[in-house]
Amino acid sequence: MKLLIVDDMKSFLDLERTFLRRAECQIFTAATGLEAIKVAQNVQPHLVMLDIEMPEMNGIEAARIFSTTPTLKHIPVVVCSGTSREAEALAAGAAAFIQKPVDEEHFLAMIQRYVPLAFRKDPRKALSAPCEIEYLGVKARCDLRDLSASGMFISTNQPLQIGDKVSLRFMVPMNRGAKTIQAEGHVVRASGEGYGIGFSDITEGARMFIQDFVED
């Protein structure tokens, strides 16, 4: 399965990649509508997630080209934007519109409306342990509630929003002592109980230690 994600903001591209961290698919990216057309012509993705506000060619213009080009019009285009231009996007040929900010659950649900995306199941394990979180250069204490090889759930007094990028430092129990893990992640879910964090940058070695703990 091939997905094309189009956004000129690297932070959003990184967040959407984080949403797809467990998905069995190839992810292609573009930063403008013009790049999106070029990539789509070459790789023929099964779905395009398209921002609106971009340089060179915006998402509305790109959606119109997708819908009228014989070699591209079979590809569903979902416009994912912080603007309120839903009617304009649908009139240009987009299959659907989703409003930013969007959390992991709704983002993946929208994709699955158009493609049968399969996901790797990462088992989770409860772990009550202190954790350090850093956001915008400010460090704060948080409590780790559960853990998997792809992410974690935390509670903290630090106010966070979907999409926020955070640095994390925590310890995973081992047979003899504990292993300190450092990782980068994005907030992918938020509730009254805390925040779901998806790992966006973690070493394979650290991931293996987490996996060993979870599966023990």
At 56, which CATH number?
A: 3.40.50.2300
Mean pLDDT of the chain: 94
Give percent above pLDDT 90 in the chain: 87
- Reported as a single tens digit per residue, the pLDDT across 39-87 is 999 999 999 999 999 989 999 999 999 999 999 999 999 999 988 889 9
Task: Give the pLDDT band (50/70/90) at residue 197.
Answer: very high
Q: Clarify whether residues 89 and 173 are in a common domain.
A: no
Structural contact between residues 189 and 196, judged by C-beta atoms closer than 8 angstroms: yes
CA dist 10 and 146 (Å) reads 28
What residues pair up with 109 in beta bridges, in sequence order?
A: none
pLDDT band at 130 (very low <50, low <70, confident <90, very high): very high
* Residue 62 belongs to domain spanning: 2-112
Angle, alpha carbons 136-139-141 (nearest 5°) = 135
Of 112, 142, 164, which one is at a domain's C-terminal end?
112
CA-CA distance, 46 to 53, in Å (whole number)? 23
- Looking at the fold, whether 89 and 158 belong to one and the same domain comes out as no
Domain count, the chain: 2
106 and 132 housed in the same domain: no
Q: Specify whether 104 is located in the same domain as 137.
A: no
Residue 11 and residue 94 share a domain: yes
Position 158 scores a pLDDT of: 87
Q: Give yes or no for a contact between 52 and 25, defined as CB atoms under 8 angstroms apart.
A: no
Q: What is the CATH number of the domain that holds 167?
A: 2.40.10.220
Q: Is the domain of 210 the same as that of 142?
A: yes
Q: Sort strands 47-50 and 138-148 into parallel, antiparallel or unpaired.
A: unpaired
Domain final position from 59, 90, 112: 112
pLDDT digits (tens, 9 = 90+) for 153-175: 999 988 999 999 999 999 999 88
Residues 12 and 24: beta-carbon distance below 8 Å: no
How high is the pLDDT of residue 175? 81
Structural domain includes residue 118:
no
- The answer to whether residue 119 sits within a structural domain is no
Q: Looking at the structure, do residues 27 and 108 belong to the same domain, yes or no?
A: yes
Establish if 23 belongs to a structural domain: yes
**The model's pTM:** 0.87
Please report the pLDDT score of residue 16 as a whole number: 94
- Of the pLDDT bands very low, low, confident and very high (cuts 50, 70, 90), residue 177 is confident
C-alpha span between 6 and 45 (Å, rounded): 12
List b or e across 10-27, with b for residues whose CB sees 16 or more CB atoms inside 10 angstroms.
eebbbbbbbbbbbbebeb
Among 54, 83, 112, identify where a domain stops: 112
Same domain, 65 and 161: no
